[in-house]
Amino acid sequence: MTTTRNRALGAWVEEIARFTKPDRIHWCDGSDTESEMLVKHMLADGTLESLNADTHPGCYLHRSHPSDVARTEHLTFICTEKQADTGPTNNWMSPAEARGKVWPLFENAMEGRTLYVVPYLMGPESSPFSKVGVEITDSAYVAVNMRIMTRMGKIALDRLGDSSDFVKGLHSLGDLDPQRRFICHFPQSKEIWSIGSGYGGNALLSKKCFALRIASTQARDEGWLAEHMLILGLEDPQGRTTYIAAAFPSACGKTNLAMLIPPLSQAGYKVWTVGDDIAWLRPGSDGRLWAINPENGFFGVAPGTNKETNPNAMATIGKNTIFTNVAVTKDRQPWWEGLGKPPEGMTDWRGNPYDPSKGEPAAHPNSRFTAPAAQCPGISPKFSDPQGVPISAIIFGGRRASLVPLVYQAFDWNHGVLVGSMLSSETTAAATGKTGVLRRDPMAMLPFCGYNMGDYLTHWLKVGNGLTHPPAIFNVNWFRRGPQREFLWPGYGENLRVLRWIVERANGGANKNNAVETPIGFVPTADAIDTRGLDVSSATMQELLRVDTAGWTQELHDFGDYLHKLGDRVPSALAVVLARIRLGLDGAAHRKTAKASVATPV
């Protein structure tokens, strides 16, 4: 039985139900009563566990299967007729192969289970830029997470009306065997098939699958950008707010930056959170780039989150939050590494008594919270603005122990696209077991770009060159280390000092007093970043802002090799900018040698 008058949707649900054979079908309306009913069932069957209702009202714990604890990039496929359209950075499967290999796994997969139809809206309710998706899932946990992460239920069906323009996401837990786990994307038909995982980006199909992989292809076709970016508004003491979008690879502190609380020394400034993970950016009729956050909640990494690193996140997750794979204290409070000394008598993320002597973390390093955006104390008043916010600056950043300065500004849009495409980050121990392995991650979109990366970079050039007032583009690196591997920059709230320089540059144009031109871009002058009250010496500041000519020559050489690997669809305009920067570096190296030879008495 369907509860929709939308013919395309009704027919699709019937087709899937015939094949997957659920015991019952439930159409999600997104109401409180429905959520309470789902939670009650999950508490009864053990999918959820209750948490301390005094300290964490409305919060629950879920433990995923221990083999299903993160996105699985090697099992994630883009399914296009031609492999070249998927490109060298994605796993490719032809639609025919997917039909032969993945589709049969759905047969009878929902026997004994409920099929939930989850209609959802990506973006603010009345925004012309919002899009509708429908996820069919056999996981009630997914349904309640989707209710937090998106505008879910009736609101989406109302928006859809009788249109057949929606992204179809089919998800089943299957048997959770990694051998039978696939996450397939069909950009042409705007479909997603995910089987064998109940976790995060693999299962909440609105997020990485739709809002990035499928949306990036829609954006290419429709002239906009779907990006792995936070969005924030920085309000200055005069009450002017400047909006910034920033792309960082996973595990570089995006949520922390999006929710930054200025330290006391920066009183008068305020950061407003518009989004922490995804931005849909559109050229406006005024020639500027406008951004909406398509999501409605935060799916953040728990470990490392505490009152010092991210007080706003801590306030956000105090109620109505689902915790996944965290540890739990004796009095049933959620716990993770970063919250201080482990209390006695804890249960670890697998549900076993926690034994600290084993040296293993109590919470899984990728344990998460799913929390409503509206609960964030710093949520922007523009969060649900149908037009979104105008972006004045775009920031790229990665985790680099050496070479990359604390901040620099690209010369122009095309150079900014090069800077974004050069984005790279050193992996953390938690992710790979090896520290310091450099992973190239153009625009932080390596796992999320739904088409050929060369075409994607071409599209970036096209969108920016069509803007009369493009955002200024910057690169930041909070993670520079000194000789003892100590961090040179304090990071966290103090990053506001760098944001202030960025906003000043973006708003004031070329103010020669606050930057010097170097071969790699504009770098702050020695005193352009406010370091008052910081334990950062001027020598350290100099080191943080130094442009190491020889190091950059090598970096650009290595990047040239990488661009080559991205294939022949990389835009030649990018190679031209690269050559220009290399020439500038050669000139600087030459001037240095000449100066040295003049200075050295013979």
Quote the least distance from Cβ 323 to ligand OXD, whole Å. 15
Active-site entry in 184, 209, 252, 449: 252
∠ CA 246-250-255, rounded to 5°? 55
- Please report whether residue 310 would count as binding ligand OXD according to CB under 6 A: no
Comparing CA positions, the residue from 287, 244, 511 lying closest to residue 389 is 244
Q: Which is nearer to ligand OXD, 71 or 113 (CB)?
A: 71
Spatial distance between the Cα atoms of 63 and 154, rounded to a whole number of angstroms: 29
Spatial distance between the Cα atoms of 184 and 174, rounded to a whole number of angstroms: 14
The answer to whether 119 touches 28, Cβ cutoff 8 Å, is: yes
Spatial distance between the Cα atoms of 381 and 386, rounded to a whole number of angstroms: 12
- 209 among known catalytic residues: no
- Please report whether residue 367 would count as binding ligand OXD according to CB under 6 A: no
Q: Which is nearer to ligand OXD, 250 or 293 (CB)?
A: 250
Spatial distance between the Cα atoms of 388 and 293, rounded to a whole number of angstroms: 8
The answer to whether 151 touches 132, Cβ cutoff 8 Å, is: no
- Please report whether residue 191 would count as binding ligand OXD according to CB under 6 A: no
CB neighbour list of residue 341: distance below 8 Å, 6 or more residues apart: none
**Selected binder of ligand OXD within 277, 337, 348, 494 (CB under 6 A):** 277
Quote the least distance from Cβ 517 to ligand OXD, whole Å. 34
- Please report whether residue 201 would count as binding ligand OXD according to CB under 6 A: yes
DSSP per residue over 13-57, as a string? HHHHHHHH--SEEEE----HHHHHHHHHHHHHHTSSEE--TTTST
Q: Which is nearer to ligand OXD, 71 or 282 (CB)?
A: 71
Quote the least distance from Cβ 277 to ligand OXD, whole Å. 5
Q: For residues 127, 130, 134 and 139, what is the CA-based torsion angle, rounded to 10 degrees?
A: -90
The answer to whether 389 touches 399, Cβ cutoff 8 Å, is: no
Residue 138 touches which of Mn ion, ligand OXD, none (Cβ within 5-8 Å per kind)? none
Q: Which is nearer to ligand OXD, 135 or 277 (CB)?
A: 277
Q: Which is nearer to Mn ion, 75 or 545 (CB)?
A: 75
Residue 68 touches which of ligand OXD, Mn ion, none (Cβ within 5-8 Å per kind)? none
Map the footprint of ligand OXD across residues 53-92, applying CB under 6 A.
71
Quote the least distance from Cβ 206 to ligand OXD, whole Å. 12
- Please report whether residue 250 would count as binding ligand OXD according to CB under 6 A: yes
Spatial distance between the Cα atoms of 202 and 74, rounded to a whole number of angstroms: 12
Quote the least distance from Cβ 144 to ligand OXD, whole Å. 18
Q: Which is nearer to ligand OXD, 34 or 441 (CB)?
A: 441
- Give 204's DSSP letter: -
Residues near ligand OXD (CB under 6 A), total: 5
Residue 201 touches which of ligand OXD, Mn ion, none (Cβ within 5-8 Å per kind)? ligand OXD
Spatial distance between the Cα atoms of 434 and 206, rounded to a whole number of angstroms: 31
Quote the least distance from Cβ 308 to ligand OXD, whole Å. 22
Q: Name the residues annotated as catalytic.
A: 252
By CB under 6 A, name the binding residues for ligand OXD: 71, 200-201, 250, 277
